Amino acid sequence: MPHGTPDWGLIGPISVLYGLDDLAEHAVRAGAVSSWDRIGHVVFQDNFKEGTGAWYSIVSSADGTVCPFTETALSPPFCIRLVNGSGGATYARMRHYLSYGYRGQVGLECSVAYGPDIEYIKFGIFSSLPTGRQLFYVRLTPATGDLDHGSDGVGWTNFANVGVLGGNIWQWRHVKMVVDFTTGLFVRFVFLGVVYDMAGIACDAMVALAPWHWYVMIENDSSTADQYILHL
C-alpha cells in the first residue's frame, strides 16, 4: 500500500509501496488489535477467537469464572468475562505465559469494560530469571480513579489518578503499560490515551524461583463478598 502522503488524498509522490508481506501500517489504519505496533514487534496478541486456550485461568472460589462471552465483544465474536467469586477476598485472573525470554522494554496492551461497583482491576508483567524475579503490577480502583503500583504482599503506592469513571460493561477503556526488564523500572502507564509517567519507579524484586518464565496478567479482584464483572 502507498504511504508517505495524507490519508485524505495523494497530493505528492508516493515514497514507498508496502508489499503484501508487510501489512503493519495497513493493519493500524484498518483497526487492528495491536494499534501501537507498526513494525512487527508484537510478541503475542489474542482476540479470543479460539476462547481462552492460550491463557492460564485462575479463580479463587467455585462460583468465580473466566469464560468467553459474545454479547459485548469489542472485537467480535468473543471477549472474555472474568467474574470473581463470592465470599470475600476473591479474584478471577488470566495469565499468558510467553514462549521466550525478553530483555529491555516490554508492554501489555488491552481494552477492558467493567460493571458498576467493581473494586480492583490489576495488570501485571512478570519475569523469573536465575538472577531473581521482577513483578510489575499496577492496580486500578475505578471507584476513586487511583492508580497504584506494588502488590498485595508489599503494599500499594499511589502514582496517579485517572478520575472517577462509572462502570458500564458496554464501554471499553484502552489500557497500556510499559516496563523495562533490563533496568527493573516501570516506564509508563496509559489509560484512555493519557500517558502517566512512571520513570524511576522500581518493580518488586524477589528471590529467584525456578522454572524461569515470563507472563502477562489481568485480574478482577475483590475484598468483599460481592461479585463483579470484568470484560477483556
Residue ranges per structural domain of the chain: 46-231
Q: Give the C-alpha separation, 211 to 129, whole Å.
A: 8
Q: Note whether 33 and 96 are within 8 A (CB).
A: no
Architecture, CATH, for domain 46-231: Sandwich (2.60)
How high is the pLDDT of residue 1?
Answer: 46
Q: Note whether 112 and 231 are within 8 A (CB).
A: yes
pTM over 0.85: no
User: CB-based contacts of 153: which residues, under 8 Å, 6+ apart?
Assistant: 204
Single-letter amino acid code for the residue at 143: A
pLDDT (tens digit per residue) in 143-170: 899 999 998 888 899 999 999 877 777 8
pLDDT (tens digit per residue) in 8-61: 555 554 444 444 444 555 555 555 545 545 554 677 778 888 888 888 888 888
DSSP of 165-178: ----TT--EEEEEE
How high is the pLDDT of residue 104?
Answer: 81
Q: Give the C-alpha separation, 173 to 191, whole Å.
A: 7
pLDDT (tens digit per residue) in 180-199: 988 989 999 999 889 999 99
pLDDT (tens digit per residue) in 66-77: 888 888 888 778
Q: Note whether 96 and 219 are within 8 A (CB).
A: no
How high is the pLDDT of residue 162?
Answer: 93
Assign 192 to helix, strand or coil. coil
How high is the pLDDT of residue 199?
Answer: 93
How high is the pLDDT of residue 18?
Answer: 43
Quick check: 134 pLDDT over 50? Answer: yes
pLDDT (tens digit per residue) in 86-114: 777 788 888 988 776 677 888 888 889 88
